[in-house]
Amino acid sequence: MKKLALIFALICNQACADTVIGVSDGDTLTVLSKGHPVKVRLANIDAPEKKQPFGARSKQSLSDLCFGRDATLDSGKQDRYGRTVAVVHCGDVNANVAQVRKGMAWVYPQYNHDPSLPAIEAAARNSRVGLWSERDPLEPWLFRKERKARSSYLN
């Protein structure tokens, strides 16, 4: 029996259902896990920043998919900000894939480990859905880089 409990605990550490209690933006949410809030960054994708076009819509999209629902996190890694980086399933929906499919996030090339995502992004781009309806959407990593450069120039 102890072996079974240990196996379950190890599996559960990798993928267990938690409840989504907050959405910060289009690629970050908070789950309640074992009574504690845990900040989660969706793996493989990068959503528009709040001050970018589609930033608010991307956040709303993730909220519509996940807020108040049970979520399963397939992960274990943490990023440099202490967030858990995960593929998040809200119900039976892979939120990471859904955000890209709906044109609410880019595939994050520097950190992508899902070989199916570039084709999903290309289909969204070709259909001009979400942020792809914009003439020349700026990738969030370039937006952050520009903002940082502007900030250091002003200081």
Cite the active site residues.
41, 49, 83
Let me know if 2 is exposed, middle or buried by CB neighbors in 10 A (0-12, 13-18, 19+).
Answer: exposed
User: Pairing mode, if any, of strands 36-42 and 84-90?
Assistant: parallel
DSSP string, 59-84: HHHHHHHHTTSEEEEEEEEE-TTSPE
Let me know if 74 is exposed, middle or buried by CB neighbors in 10 A (0-12, 13-18, 19+).
Answer: middle
